[in-house]
Structure 1
Amino acid sequence: MAAPIGIEVVGHVAVIEMQAPPHNFLTPTLVEGVAEALESFDDDAHVRAAVLCAQGRSFCAGANFGGDDGPLGPGSGAEPVGGSVTERMYAAAARLCEVATPFVAAVHGPAIGGGLGLAMTANLRVTCPEARFSANFAALGLHQGFGLSVLLPEVLGTTRAAEVLLTATRYDGESATALGMADRCVPLDDVRATAVDLAAQIAVNAPLALRSINRTLRAGLADRVRAATAHEAEQQRILSSTADAAEGIRAVTERRPGNFTGS
């Protein structure tokens, strides 16, 4: 299956667009496609920076717990969250933390659950007031995934990361920027152009130096994410069989608070 992405090179900036609207739900094919594109730029002397953006209403709404997302086992009910499909996706997530080419995420809409994890793999994030950032795993009765155990503390610090993960709060773009999950908040219609402009500001610099600096800044990050996602998947497998997880998924899809019993 071809990855649902498009690639356009503008000057020295590669624009990677996720093309699975309206919500760009996570699948291994999607994440692997993004990883393969970024990895290919590491060997491209012309491309010096990249932008990750998306078609549709959401940047990435995470797993599809509505159940009509066949390729993704956890969303379709074909296997428990944390199973082999999840593990394949998390392996690709670690690859995103290993690429040398700097990249900017243009978060124009919701980045939820693993979709927030995808946004956090970028070096920088541009967003807008209409966007929504949420690590909603606790509300689902699940453990966080997609390396957020590492990526959130890396960006926010331990205390702020704990707030995001334990409260499962849904932050708008302005609040997310104030907290540190995004770096610039601009009007909705300017998100992609601002991200491309930011990437272009990076791309005027020496490409070998850029890759060297980025490798130094992210030294060991991919290995830490691999270790974290192995633990995350294990915990997700355990928790996905609980009554609280079943209730949490129902509650989130029905847009109501969960009635949890600790079982």
Structure 2
Amino acid sequence: MSTPSFTDLEFSIGDDYVATVEIARPPHNYFDHALIGSLADAFTFCDGDDRVRAIVLCAQGKSFCAGANFNAPRDGQTQPGNLYREAVKLFETKTPVVAAVQGAAIGGGLGVALMPDFRIASPEARFAANFARLGFHQGFGLSVTLPGIVGQQVALDMLYTGRRLNGEEALQVGLCDRLVPAEDLRAEAHAFALEIARSAPLAVRSIRQTMRGDLAAKVKAATDHELAEQDRLRSTEDFKEGVKATAERRLPDFKGR
């Protein structure tokens, strides 16, 4: 079977049953409908290819994924509802995924980082659900995935304050599973994926279905609610101020309206 190409991704399959999916929008890898669709297509391909038993998800540049670019022009295809439909497909992936997080995983980018089964991070990694600092509601299924990984209280802390966790803090709260020097990050993620790939593939998929089989449905329900709240808050003065303050690199002056 030939190996396809996907827009904005570097994709390869090794002879060790490990595929590498690399986001190629440096330096910050902002996502949109097209990128999430490409990721979903790549993972779907992996699910149907016997050469793949585990996937490494990584990214080029400074950031792992800095989320959506709120200052970018929007068209019909990039509407959040369309994007979230593609996002739900990511959670339907049947193949185990290990993420290598080298930099910022912010906002919706945190949502991308929480889709994989495991996260290997460097000390320079940064994790933040900064939506409240933008006057906005969380998205990308974070209402389900974040508390599912770190627990309700840590999730509320991150969502209410928008504070950033570095790699060491992320390891302490369970947001990442292993912390390694930046120069070893890709190799460690690949080694972890290879450990998985050496297990019986039918058994791994069966176990994964038992443990995570209902996650896509939960994310679908969560994104439906998140989208409604985002639509409501998008028209507020606070949201406009949050986006403007972020672009101007200053503290926002929220008015509660």
Q: Does the CA contact (< 8 Å) of 1:45 and 1:207 recur in 2?
A: no
Superposition CA RMSD, Å: 1.4
1:30 aligns with 2:24: no
Q: Does the CA contact (< 8 Å) of 2:32 and 2:78 recur in 1?
A: no
Instruction: Give me the whole-angstrom Cα distance separating, in 2, the residues matched to 1:231 and 1:259.
Output: 27
1:19 aligns with 2:24: yes
Instruction: Give me the whole-angstrom Cα distance separating, in 1, the residues matched to 2:183 and 2:81.
Output: 35
- Per-residue Cα deviation, 1:116-137 (whole angstroms, up to 9, x for no partner): 0000001000111111111000
Match of 1:89 in 2: 83
Instruction: Give me the whole-angstrom Cα distance separating, in 2, the residues matched to 1:98 and 1:89.
Output: 15
Match of 2:8 in 1: 4
Deviation at 1:219, TM superposition (A): 2.0
Match of 1:100 in 2: 94
Instruction: Give me the whole-angstrom Cα distance separating, in 2, the residues matched to 1:174 and 1:124.
Output: 16
What is the TM-score of this pair, normalised by structure 2?
0.94
Number of corresponding residues? 251
Match of 1:202 in 2: 196
Instruction: Give me the whole-angstrom Cα distance separating, in 2, the residues matched to 1:57 and 1:132.
Output: 11
Match of 2:112 in 1: 118
Instruction: Give me the whole-angstrom Cα distance separating, in 1, the residues matched to 2:167 and 2:248.
Output: 24
- Per-residue Cα deviation, 1:157-187 (whole angstroms, up to 9, x for no partner): 1111111111100111111111111111111
Residue identity opposite 2:110 in structure 1: L
Structure 2: tracts of 5 or more residues without a match? 1-5
Instruction: Give me the whole-angstrom Cα distance separating, in 2, the residues matched to 1:153 and 1:38.
Output: 24
Match of 2:234 in 1: 240
Q: Does the CA contact (< 8 Å) of 1:145 and 1:233 recur in 2?
A: yes
Instruction: Report % sequence identity.
Output: 48
Match of 2:3 in 1: none
SS at match of 1:257: coil
Instruction: Give me the whole-angstrom Cα distance separating, in 2, the residues matched to 1:243 and 1:257.
Output: 15
- Per-residue Cα deviation, 1:36-61 (whole angstroms, up to 9, x for no partner): 11111112122100011011111100
Deviation at 1:257, TM superposition (A): 1.8
Instruction: Give me the whole-angstrom Cα distance separating, in 2, the residues matched to 1:22 and 1:122.
Output: 21
Deviation at 1:256, TM superposition (A): 2.0
SS at match of 2:156: helix
SS at match of 1:6: strand
Instruction: Give me the whole-angstrom Cα distance separating, in 2, the residues matched to 1:142 and 1:256.
Output: 17
Structure 1 runs of 4+ aligned residues shifted over 3 Å read none
Match of 1:45 in 2: 50
1:64 aligns with 2:69: yes
Instruction: Give me the whole-angstrom Cα distance separating, in 1, the residues matched to 2:176 and 2:36.
Output: 20
- Per-residue Cα deviation, 1:197-229 (whole angstroms, up to 9, x for no partner): 100010001111111111111121101100110
Instruction: Give me the whole-angstrom Cα distance separating, in 2, the residues matched to 1:137 and 1:3.
Output: 28
Q: Does the CA contact (< 8 Å) of 1:13 and 1:200 recur in 2?
A: yes
Structure 1: tracts of 5 or more residues without a match? none
Match of 1:163 in 2: 157
Instruction: Give me the whole-angstrom Cα distance separating, in 2, the residues matched to 1:128 and 1:84.
Output: 31
* Residue range with higher mean Cα deviation, 119-128 or 93-102: 93-102
Instruction: Give me the whole-angstrom Cα distance separating, in 2, the residues matched to 1:40 and 1:7.
Output: 11
Residue identity opposite 2:188 in structure 1: T
Deviation at 1:247, TM superposition (A): 0.7
Instruction: Give me the whole-angstrom Cα distance separating, in 1, the residues matched to 2:12 and 2:87.
Output: 22
Instruction: Give me the whole-angstrom Cα distance separating, in 2, the residues matched to 1:51 and 1:90.
Output: 22
What is the TM-score of this pair, normalised by structure 1?
0.92
Residue identity opposite 2:86 in structure 1: A
